[in-house]
Structure 1
Amino acid sequence: MNKQPIGIFDSGVGGTSIWKEINLLLPNENTIYLADSANAPYGLKSKEAIINLSIKNTEYLIKKGCKIIVVACNTATTNAINELRETYKIPFIGIEPAIKPAALNTQTKAVGILATKGTLSSELFHKTTDLFASNITVIERIGEGIVELIESGQLYSEDMKVLLKLYLQPMLNANIDYLVLGCTHYPYLMPLLIELLPNHVKIIDSGEAVARQTKAVLDKHNLLNTQRKKGNYQFYTNRNTDVMASLLDNAFGIDYLDF
């Protein structure tokens, strides 16, 4: 089992930001990334639809021989990971907005979170927020349209800048000092966010924490790949491969295949 790949899926190309962190921490591991871009974004879909799509993605990765699955999608995690864990024996790693470190470290007692509707309305997100952020101001904004622009190759477009300015202004008005990125597509916005935000606002996401948790769970189940050679990477998408290739900067050996 140790040489079998880590499976990673997202509702599009955004989860490659999680893949990058996993690959950085675990370069020996073989990985398979699955982008369900044809159904992106998940954030506007019903809980039932999200669960069904997550099951489809999971079964695809299991057929590919994956030894663990990383749900590199905040919306899929908050809406479907319990069902996945109850249905399949394979270990699952989830991802949710890093509201805890923001809430614990804010000096202005105000943090912003940019996420999808599906994440912000989920029970898991509300439980986490109630637990760690009950005594601070949390400015939530649904990033409507952001995923669609990224998936269509308009990451640094003027339309994107207009959207970000619209979503960030209420947060700046509330004097936030932390911005939590609650969607795996959003780390690719970092250059724009740095440009638009004051220097004192810290931007955090869950990528490094997910990579560390993936390593810990692999170690717990004796599934770490001990080979010394560099791992093999495969990327699958059911939409335009050019967008994914540009995000990965064509720096890796990529095997694209529609599913």
Structure 2
Amino acid sequence: MNNSMKPIGLFDSGIGGTSIWKEIHSLLPDENTIYLADSKNAPYGQKSKDEIIDLSIKNTEYLLNQNCKLIVIACNTATTNAIKELREKYDVPFIGIEPAIKPAALQTRTRTIGILATKGTLNSVLFHKTVAAFKNLTVIEQVGHGLVQLIEEGKIGGNEIDELLQLYLNPMLKADIDCLVLGCSHYPYLVPQIKKILPKSVKIIDSGLAVAKQTKTVLEKYELLNTGIQKSNQVFYTNANPEVLTTIVSKEYIVLKKDF
């Protein structure tokens, strides 16, 4: 197979990384993709660094066995805890996803921003290093306890999530944030509910489009952009109930249950 026609591989601790996949597919519709939803082990944010590295290695090797030419770690927790080890171990380009602290720092007027993320992301060395680079910036951190689990159960839009978001976001508003960074790839699916709580003056920022643009840049750098004329193929694997993932990505795509 021509290297450029090989698929882009993506993995996440569940369905959340499909928010990243959607941005990549929108920008690069000719690219073949394989998405791995490790829902059986979600959420990664409550696991130790060693556990996260082990799971990330397992996912990477599965995707490499599918001939993926580039791997997108569509998970903030896996990126902030494991991307260094993955890059050292494998000779394939990796694209990571981190909380969009820099865009928020450039846009804030109050110099106070909020970040909603998993415990694993907020406790990571990479996250603290990123925050420390921005002086005179107040970052209100909040672990989104329970949100990933509810999203994985297909309860997007439910009262349980509304109540949790009220609990997590109201203290940020009292602290005068004017930007909210979504530090988990699951959370963009909660934007409609978040907008009901936040005033319009607060900007909601995630990393999806930036990751898609970086993916294109790296593919161009390594001359791996798919220039084939065949219709692109999008395949999704999950090791849990495939119904939720099918609902998220549309029934036109193949969703397969696999043990990995």
- TM above 0.5, yes or no, is yes
Cα distance in structure 1, aligned partners of 2:255 and 2:154: 20
In the alignment, is residue 52 of structure 1 matched against residue 57 of structure 2? no
1:1-16 equivalence runs, <5 A: 1-16=3-18
CA 1:152–1:255 in structure 2 vs 1: closer, same or farther (change >3 Å)? closer
Q: Distance between the aligned counterparts of 1:180 and 1:254, measured in 2? A: 31
Deviation of the 1:255 alpha carbon: 3.5
The share of aligned pairs that are identical, in percent, is: 63
Equivalent of 2:100, from 87, 98, 101?
A: 98
After the TM superposition, which residues 114-153 of structure 1 pair with which residues of structure 2 at under 5 Å, given as runs? 114-132=116-134, 134-153=135-154
Taking a change above 3 Å as real, the CA distance of residues 100 and 33 of structure 1, as seen in their structure-2 partners, is same
Give the distance between the partners of 2:150 and 2:255, measured in 1 at CA.
24
Cα separation, 1, equivalents of 2:157 and 2:31: 32
Q: 1:135-189 CA deviation, whole Å, 9 max, x = no partner?
A: 0211100001000000011111111000000000110001111000000000000
**Does the aligned pair in 2 maintain the 1:233–1:255 contact within 8 Å?**
no
Aligned to 1:69: 71
Which residue type is aligned with residue 77 of structure 2? Answer: T
Q: 2:83 aligns with which of 81, 84, 107?
A: 81
| Residue 29 of structure 1: aligned partner | 31
1:183-213 CA distance string (max 9 Å, x none): 0000000110111111111101000000000
2:192 is equivalent to residue 186 of structure 1: no
Structure 2 residue aligned with 1:258: 258
1:257, distance to aligned residue in structure 2 (A): 2.9
Q: Does the CA contact (< 8 Å) of 1:18 and 1:72 recur in 2? A: yes
Q: Deviations over 1:94-152 (max 9, x none)?
A: 010001010121011111000000000101000110102x2021110000100000001
Contact 1:27 1:230 in 2 (8 A): no
SS in 1 for 2:4: coil
How far apart are the structure 1 equivalents of 2:95 and 2:143? 24
Q: Distance in 1 between matches of 2:35 and 2:109?
A: 38
Alignment match, 2:166 = 165
Between the aligned partners of 1:42 and 1:141, the Cα distance in structure 2 is 16
In 1, Cα distance between the equivalents of 2:43 and 2:35? 17
CA RMSD of aligned residues (A): 0.9
Q: Distance in 2 between matches of 1:253 and 1:117?
A: 32
| SS class of match (1:2) | helix
Q: Normalising by structure 2, report the TM-score.
A: 0.97
Q: Within 2, Cα distance between the matches of 1:131 and 1:159?
A: 36
The amino acid across from 1:249 in the alignment is S
> Which 4+ stretches in 1 moved above 4 angstroms?
none
Partner secondary structure for residue 68 of structure 2:
coil
Q: Structure 1: give runs of 5+ residues left out of the alignment.
A: none
Farther off after superposition, 52-61 or 241-250: 241-250
Q: What runs of 5+ residues in structure 2 fail to find an aligned partner?
A: none
> For residues 223-242 of structure 1, what are the structure 2 equivalents within 5 Å?
223-242=224-243
Distance in 2 separating the partners of 1:198 and 1:140 = 19
